Structures are given as structure tokens and as C-alpha cells.
Structure 1
């Protein structure tokens, strides 16, 4: 009987790619959704902020409670790397610990029942056979690891190191292989995607990427996630706007807009430049602009928070992620004072969240009455009689779905593209009808 494997991938999509590499090395195992019947359980952890760390620890203990006798529990990833000494001492429940350097050797660690922390960060390349999860049509492609930015609130460079880009040739070969397997929609990701290839002395890495991917037959759609404001150029915005393959999708976390807070955050860019970049993005026809912000950063005054609120409401982003500040040891913000008390941080997050809900509804309302190309992914989790469709303009998982409640076609194939008439908005959900194949 085949041994069974249960995997939990926490945190970002960059983690997910590494999880998919591990799955590729463990093909001899049969996947199971039930941890209690698994012979091998792997948790790929996130260690970015307090909430993510708490989720990782809780997940580890929950899986230990559910596991069967003689199974192996493996903890990998960012939390494990960041707190390797503490976790190995305090979690005897875990059989194997590994960090962010040995995803492609997970089969060896399991066979030897050995913990290992290789002193370098793993970076996937075209030779790693990933098991792409969650979609028949879409795949994430990692461009780089590490980050050269020095944001005062971020601990990532401390355990992921400096920027290390893949070669453009490696990325192109991986996309070609994924296309050959039937994938046609791609999201390109890294900690700071707009710095791609700068560690190799190339300042226009993403423009070169766009040109290269456009020449690959079979790529229908692509988008770039995680642009950093200080390394995003007007030439890049123009290249995306002019591309026939890359969506007019602009995901640029600004974190704040108040000039003093931005300087204290060490973002390397001022508010005027950020606003100019965003306006250029917004002017691109049929553009979609997403951002992330932090509330409750140490020393943030009520007036500075109100500046952020006004900007978010006035600009009208399509999507905004609001994060409550997390005090991370090893960062320069950790030593800043005065700190904002947790109750005030929560209250500010709720106030900004109400604004974001209104701007998101306004963005969705603009789509009503339009016909869009969308991938029908399968049954919606909202209701068994509804289908879930994602417009090509939107990124998977984070931007939502169209709930399909009617169709002019009978034989709907999951993973295929269709033209959908968006008929209605209900709160933060869109309803639509399949009109034809796209």
C-alpha cells in the first residue's frame, strides 16, 4: 500500500511554490486531505508577522494531535528558519525540522529522518519538477529570493538574505514546460519583483521578462505581483500597458502615504513619487490597481493615519490589504517609540477597513454590465449550485471571484476560458452568466 502524505502550506504564494517543489520530490506518496491517515505530514510555515507565526504554531500542534502513531511530522519554511534553535528545543513533537534551503532535498531528509538547515536560501529553477496545485490553468512562477530593501518593519532580509534572481533563461524554460503541461495563465512573484535582475546589473529586468514571455506560444495571460515603489519605473508601467499578454494589473504595496511615516519606515521613496506612479497606473485603460498598507506603525499619529485614510478613499484602489503593525525583533522599527497600543491599532484597522470595503464595492460595481474573459475554476465554495470564475485581469485567491448562476452553454469544462456577462453585484460578490467560449 502506498504511503500517504498530508501537506499544509501557510503564508504567501512564494511559500506555495516551494511547497509544490516538495510535492514534486515526494511523488511516491499518495496525497490525503486527512492528517489522521497520513504517514508523512509537512507544514511549510510562515514567520513574517505575529499572526502568521501564531497560525503556524497552532497548525503544528493541531496536526500533532491528529496524527497517527509512527507518522512523521516535518516543519519547514520561514518560521522554522527564523527560530530554528528555539523551535527544536521547545517542540519535541516535531520529528524533522528544516528551513528555507532544502525544499528540493525533502525526500532525503524524510528517508534519513534528519533535520537540516542549509546555510543558503533555495531558489526554484526550471529543472525542479513541481506539482502545481489549486488550478488546471494557472501557475505561479518565482523570479527571485531575498530582498535588497531595508524597510524598518520587515524581518524577511534577516532570514532570506539579499536579492538573488533567477536568470531570464531559467524563467522562460519553466514557463515553456508549464505551457506544455496545459497551463496558460501565470503570476510572476518574488519579495520585490520590480528589482528582478538588478543583482545581475540589469535595471530593466521586468521589461525583458515581458518581452520574453510574450514570445512563448501558448501563454494567454500573465501578471506581475509585488512591485516595490522605489524600483518601479514609468517604463515598466508603459511596458505592461502595451503588452498583449500581461494584464494591466498593478500590485504595488505602498504601506503608507504620509511623508514622515514613509521616511521612518525606510521605504526609500516619498509620497509625491508614489502618488505619481499610482496615477500613471490608474490612467492605463482597464487597469486594476492593488496595494497594501500598515496601520499602527510606531510613532504614527492620528493625523498621519487620517492622511492615509483620505488617500485610500480618494484614490479608489481596486483592492487594498490592511495589515496591523507587528513588532518584529531584529528590525529597526522594533526599537522605535512611542508604540501604538494594540487597541488603537485594531480600531484604526477597522476604520480603514470600512473605507476599503466601500472602495472595493465601487470597483466591483464598475464591472456590472461588462463582458469579461474569465477562467471557470469549478464549483464555488459559496454554494454547490454556483460556479466560481476568475476574470483574467484578477490575480488568483486574493481578488475574488464571479459567481456563475446561469449559462448559455451546457458542457462547461473547468480550467477553460469563457466570456461572462457580469449581471449583478451583491455586497462584495459579483454574479454572472456564461455567454460563450472565450
Structure 2
């Protein structure tokens, strides 16, 4: 009997990726293929966070619809479908099955019955859900909570992901145990608001307790946490990460802005002084890696407030910084705010910040040259089969960059995924090149 073929496209964030991996686990009897033309089932796990992501999701669905063979099922799942179920039914009738953010663990049932009924509750993957980890034989993402209790003016996530719901510590530890038994040693912990982990269960020390428990378990070799939130991050948490033997000195805290007036307008729950206190504590840790996100063009952002942000970015150098143009999202308080910023001004401001960041990034990468680095090698690079793909052990996969390994001091030139000592030899056209010195 010929196996049925499945093509899955996962869009958006790593939290979406975990849900996609759960669906792959539920559909383990399908053969996963890289192109949609020969698939019996095509799943597009969508993102609905901001306008550009929504447009990408819709275009991807349309492309899949036009590429599929006769009789193939087209499934749209995830955030966009949760937000715009009725609109999608009307605008893209080619979609056979619509699944929301509560349906990932029953995708097999939905395919069998061709059932379009969306589950009202939000799904949170735990250790009981078999996943097919994609993209790595050594690294896996672990989602510690779903939903968010914050009230940011620009963010629609709570409207379709709901309030914060955290897994318990034992559940996370069991998942680490399961993944470790399969050979995974590097983990990235994710949530909408990781630093609020367990606050829905009246525990304000949840993330600290999780770090302590993972250190005590001693199965993970390296780990990092994404998506800290300024109002729920403490100096004690920063110190706990610093003192951990497993968690890297990696601090990902989206600040969105630095002006007190803008932070208040954005309903961020922490002022400039708190942000600077936390960021300085992170930066003062030797070898720390600090990543953040800012939003440009939120309604009411004056030239003076934008300049304040630029001055701050000139002086506090982030290791990585994502820049988003403000996107007016239905159901958010910013959607109806006055003093909207014209697109041409937003684009001009983004270009100004990009110049600041690009200059800093070039210097940061140059400073890495001719120094020993512990790296995690994942396998062959997608850039070329002649390079291995590696990243500094502190870096998160995909978002923080890639080191191209094109030389080795090891006798065996076939490098298996794992931990290595490497020296970076060259920066060319924005790419870092390195040589493996030894296996760790």
C-alpha cells in the first residue's frame, strides 16, 4: 500500500513551529515531502500577528491551492484562521479544512472526518504530545506556556490566544527527558511571555524554579530562554540565568521603545528606568548576549520620542535587534488611536535605525574574528553543500545568525552534529566563516 504524502508549511514564530511539529507527530503515518505538487494533504500553519504576516499567510495558502494535485486536501491552521475563520471561508473557498489554535493535537481526526469545527480552547503542547522535531538533530524548542496576560496596545495575541496558561515544571522536565533520550541536547524555551511563567498559578518565581529544576535534572547540555517581558523580569531572574550551568547568558527582552511617554502609550507596564536597570544588569554579565525588538511608528510617536530611541540605540548596543513597523490590528487599543504615523515617515525612521544597527552589527562580527568560540554544528548549510552550518553556543537557532564552517583540524572531515571549538577566520559579504579546531 502506497503511503499518503504530506506537505506542511509552518509560518511565523517558533511557537507556531512547535504546534506544526505536534501535527507532524499526529500524522506520522504520512510521508513528509518538500513540495506540494505531489502531496495528498497540504497544511499551511499560518501566522496572524501583524499585517505583513497575514498577507504572507494568505499568499501561501493561495499558492498551495494552485499547486496541489487533483483530490488533495488543503488545510489552513493556526493564528490567522483563528482570527479570521469566517472571512477565510468566504474569500478562499479552496480551503478544505480550517483548524484553529486549539486543534493541533486532533488534526488526524479532522482529516479523517473532514471536520471544520474549531476547538474553543487554546492548545498547549506538553510531554504527552509526540512531536516530529524539524531542522535539527541536536536542538529542540520547548513551549512552557501559551497565551498572555499583558495588555500591550499594539498586540492582538491575547484576543485569540487567550490568557496565560503555564505547564507545570514536572511536565517540562519530562519533555526534556523524552527529547534527551532521542539525542537532543540543546533547548530553547519559548512562550508569549516567558518571564510570567507560572504567574497564572500564583507563583511569581516560576521561571527561576524552572531554571533550578533543569540544572538539577542535568540532562540538557545548553539552553536559552526567549521572550522575557520587562515588567515580569527581575534582577533575581537575571542572576539565576547567569549562575546556571546549563542556561546561556542569553537575554531576549523585547523593549519596543525607550521613551517613557511611548512605553505608557504602548501599555508596557514598565518605565524607562526599569528597562535600563534590567538591560545594564544583562550587559554587565561577562559574555552576555542581549537581543531585543522595537516598534517604529506607533500612533503618537513624536520626532522627539523617536530621537530619544535613536540616541538610546546608539549608546546601548544590542547583539541583535529586530525592527517592526507598527501594524494596526483589529481588537487592540492602538487600532483606534489618533495621531497615526504616515507610512513614508515610518519607513524613513526604520531606515535611520537600520543604519545604526547595520554599523553596529558589522563591528560585533569583526570582534568575533580570530577568537575561539564554542559552537553547535547542525549539519550542512542551506547556503551551499560545501559548508557546514554552525552557531555560537549562546545563539538561538535561525534568528541570531550562522557560522559557515569550511575547514577543520580534525582527521575526519565529515563533521557530525554536535559541540565544537572553532575559530572564526573571515567576515565576507556579511557571512562569518570558521574552522573547527576540536570536538567538545
1:391, 1:216 → 2: CA distance? 24
- Does the 8 Å contact 2:176/2:219 carry over to 1? no
- Does the 8 Å contact 1:360/1:428 carry over to 2? no
Partner in structure 1 of residue 313 of structure 2:
312
Provide the secondary structure at the position in 1 that maps to 2:368: coil
Partner in structure 2 of residue 191 of structure 1:
192
Deviations 1:53-101 (A, max 9, x none): 0000000000000000000000000000001111112211000001000
- The reply to whether residue 45 of structure 1 matches residue 46 of structure 2 is yes
- The reply to whether residue 119 of structure 1 matches residue 114 of structure 2 is no
1:287, 1:87 → 2: CA distance? 44
1:52, 1:24 → 2: CA distance? 25
Partner in structure 1 of residue 302 of structure 2:
301
2:295, 2:416 → 1: CA distance? 37
Deviations 1:22-52 (A, max 9, x none): 0000011001111000000000000000000
- The reply to whether residue 277 of structure 1 matches residue 278 of structure 2 is yes
Partner in structure 1 of residue 416 of structure 2:
414
Partner in structure 1 of residue 436 of structure 2:
434
**Aligned structure 1 segments of 4 or more residues deviating by more than 3 angstroms:** 411-414
1:412, 1:309 → 2: CA distance? 46
1:217, 1:312 → 2: CA distance? 37
2:169, 2:246 → 1: CA distance? 17
- The reply to whether residue 30 of structure 1 matches residue 31 of structure 2 is yes
Provide the secondary structure at the position in 1 that maps to 2:29: coil
1:206, 1:364 → 2: CA distance? 31
1:205, 1:411 → 2: CA distance? 44
TM, length-normalised to structure 1: 0.98
Shift of 1:427: 4.6
Unaligned runs of 5+ in 2: none
The farther-off stretch of 202-211 and 384-393 is 384-393
- The reply to whether residue 423 of structure 1 matches residue 425 of structure 2 is yes
Provide the secondary structure at the position in 2 that maps to 1:35: coil
Provide the secondary structure at the position in 2 that maps to 1:430: strand
Shift of 1:15: 0.3
Partner in structure 2 of residue 404 of structure 1:
405
Structure 1 segment 129-168 matched on structure 2, within 5 A = 129-168=130-169
1:426, 1:256 → 2: CA distance? 32
- The reply to whether residue 82 of structure 1 matches residue 109 of structure 2 is no
The farther-off stretch of 15-24 and 213-222 is 213-222
- Does the 8 Å contact 2:372/2:424 carry over to 1? yes
1:4, 1:10 → 2: CA distance? 20
Aligned residues: 438
Deviations 1:219-263 (A, max 9, x none): 110000000000000000000001111000000000000110110
1:169, 1:135 → 2: CA distance? 25
1:15, 1:166 → 2: CA distance? 17
Partner in structure 2 of residue 351 of structure 1:
352
Provide the secondary structure at the position in 2 that maps to 1:118: coil
1:383, 1:91 → 2: CA distance? 37
Provide the secondary structure at the position in 1 that maps to 2:406: strand
Deviations 1:94-145 (A, max 9, x none): 0000100010000000000111211110001111000010000000000000
2:78, 2:49 → 1: CA distance? 11
The farther-off stretch of 186-195 and 213-222 is 213-222
Partner in structure 1 of residue 254 of structure 2:
253
Shift of 1:390: 1.0
Unaligned runs of 5+ in 1: none
Shift of 1:412: 3.3
Partner in structure 1 of residue 386 of structure 2:
385
Shift of 1:373: 1.3
1:39, 1:356 → 2: CA distance? 45
Provide the secondary structure at the position in 2 that maps to 1:36: coil
Deviations 1:279-326 (A, max 9, x none): 000001110000000001111111211111111121011000000000
Provide the secondary structure at the position in 1 that maps to 2:212: helix
Provide the secondary structure at the position in 2 that maps to 1:116: coil
1:371, 1:238 → 2: CA distance? 25
- Does the 8 Å contact 2:422/2:437 carry over to 1? yes
